Amino acid sequence: MNTGGDGEIVHFDNVGLRYGTDSEVLSDVSFTLFPGRFYFLTGASGAGKTSLLRLLYLAQRPSRGMIRMFGTDAITVPRERLPGLRRRLGVVFQDFRLVPHLSAFDNIALPLRIAGVPERELAKPVADMLEWVGLAERMQAKPATLSGGEQQRVAIARAVIGRPDILIADEPTGNVDPDMAVKLLRLFEALNRLGTTVVVATHDLHLLQKVPESLIMRLDRGRLADPTGALRYPPRRPVAGRPS
Amino acid sequence: MKWHHSLTDAAARGWSGFANAGDTPLVSQSRLAGPMPWVIAIMVALTVIATAGGLALRNVAQVSTTELSGGITVQIVEARPEERARQASAALAQLQRSAGIAAPRLVPAAEIDALVEPWLGKGLTGEDAIPVPALIDARMTGKVSTSRLQRLQQKLREVAPAARVDAQAGWLEPAYDAIRSLQWLALALVVLLAFAMAAAVLLAARNALGANRNTIEIVHFLGGTDEQIANIFQRSVGADAVAGGIAGFAFATGAIWLLGQRFAALGAGMVEGGALVLTDWLVLVMVPLAATILAMGTARLSVMQALRKML
């Protein structure tokens, strides 16, 4: 994996974000994401979680500051190199953002098709993925016919099928019952154990306790609380290796 | 898990089959198609008809020019029939002796009667006949100039004082001017129609882009490139353009054939020269092909332009 300096994969330095001429929704945000770690992003509604995630999944450029991703300056990177960076990210959107006229199978297969994986090589991994999220029986269903929880699982399957370096999930358990929330969290943990860095935005504090080794990023009115400096200089711990 | 793929490797293999997610088009076809094939069909039909008109006019001009190039007519404008006949014979003999004059022919009276019959009617021969000039057709070899014509007229007037020489091309110069104007008009129409079609495609592509913004954003966030998205639209517009082009060309061909039949029924020499030949039809076949290329190019450019405004 191509990481930045000292094994970091994402580094935010004094990042600020404002929309138009409004006041900043994010101010002086600085943190570093390391490979194989599990992060929770918390904060009250309107604290800036979604804005921070949009910066993370390269949907937005910051108004100031510096963002380095996989060793590349993500702000000045030429536009044609952005797809390459995005393909290393898996995103679970709060509103799922499934393509409405595509089946669950085709939605999940989309990242692989975009990446140019031949059709004959698609069926098996997509079927495995559907099995993994418990939707093998519903592979031909269109999003409109799926429940909120099922759509969420399709969105998660789509986010992880390309084995991203970072999985970014915005309130992934917001539309599912507590049992399913725990099950989804276990999926993320399983992925994390394979080496994927996971960033989960949530306002459900109970979830935080279920992953004891996770690091908490708490946003408060656009500012990131990091009293111990753990987000910039996290304590060392063994990082799970990736299967070759 | 066995489902992992190296996306970097996959990306290196390049784009393949992405425009269609399995059997389902990634961009909802119903949103993109709409009236587009019909607009293209109408544009192609009008362009083919305008082009065919321009080509037919060019053919008319070419055939007439070839036939009339170097052609001269000597009129003997003399009211007395005997004197007219004498001067006509003298002028014909003079022409036969002259260098640079080929195939002089005295137009028979019957032929002249047939020519004037639509205006003067039948049965006007004999004593009560309206005097009609005697005509001699001939062809001048080499370049026909005003000075050559004047010299010839001078020479003829020595033996036939009532002789008047006219270059056949000169009579038709105003008609050629009109034909040339119509050809320019046809060309202008073709250009305007091409612009109109490009504008229609531009609007349709932008509209489709707006309608599919969500899907495009998803594809963007999943690492899709501008080229991949533009290819989707280009293909879709291309399919519309091919369908519209075939329909428009079929309609235009039918219209041209019907018009051809009507003009052929006129039996007028100049109009018959306007018939389309094989190369003309090849040019007409190029119209829907050009329309398809234009539509696809326009769609691609407009989509790429719109995508560049996104991050």
**ipTM confidence score:** 0.83
- Is B289 within 8 Å of B245 (Cβ atoms)? yes
The dihedral through the CA atoms of B87, B93, B99, B105 has a sign that is positive
- Dist. CA B137–CA B167, nearest whole Å: 10
Residues of B whose CB is below 8 A from A195? none
CA distance A148 to chain B (A): 18
Q: How far is CA A159 from the centre of its chain?
A: 8
Contact B3 A128 (CB under 8 A): yes
Model-level pTM greater than 0.90? no
Q: Test B223 with A111 for CB contact under 8 angstroms.
A: yes
Query: Could you tell me which of B287, B289, B262, B290 has the C-alpha nearest to residue B274?
Result: B262
Q: Which residues of chain A have a CB within 8 Å of the CB of B8?
A: 84, 87
Q: Do A106 and B22 touch (CB under 8 A)?
A: yes
| Cα–Cα distance, A41 to A29 (Å, whole number) | 13
Please tell me the number of Cα atoms within 13 Å of B92 on its side-chain side.
16
- A88: nearest CA in chain B? B7
Closest residue of chain A to B28, computed from CA coordinates: A101
Per-residue pLDDT of chain B (311 residues; tens, 9 = 90+): 333 333 223 323 333 345 555 555 666 655 455 678 888 899 899 999 989 988 888 888 777 766 666 788 899 988 888 899 999 999 999 999 888 888 889 998 888 888 877 777 776 556 667 788 899 988 888 777 778 888 888 999 999 999 998 887 676 778 778 888 888 888 898 899 888 888 887 787 777 777 778 888 888 889 999 888 888 888 888 888 899 999 999 999 999 999 888 877 776 555 666 788 899 999 999 999 998 998 888 888 888 888 888 77
Distances (CA, A) of A17 to A9, A223, B217, B311: 21, 11, 21, 15
Phi-psi map region of B283: left, alpha, beta (phi>0 left; psi -120 to 50 alpha): alpha
For chain B, which residues lie within 8 Å of any Cβ of chain A, measuring from their own Cβ?
1-8, 10-18, 21-22, 24, 26, 28, 214-215, 217-226, 228, 308, 311
Q: Do B15 and A99 touch (CB under 8 A)?
A: no
Q: B22: which 2 tokens?
A: 């399995």
Q: Name residues whose C-beta falls within 8 Å of residue B145's C-beta, 6 or more positions apart in sequence.
A: none
How far lies A42's CA from each of A18, A205, A225, B161, B174, in Å?
Answer: 20, 8, 10, 114, 86
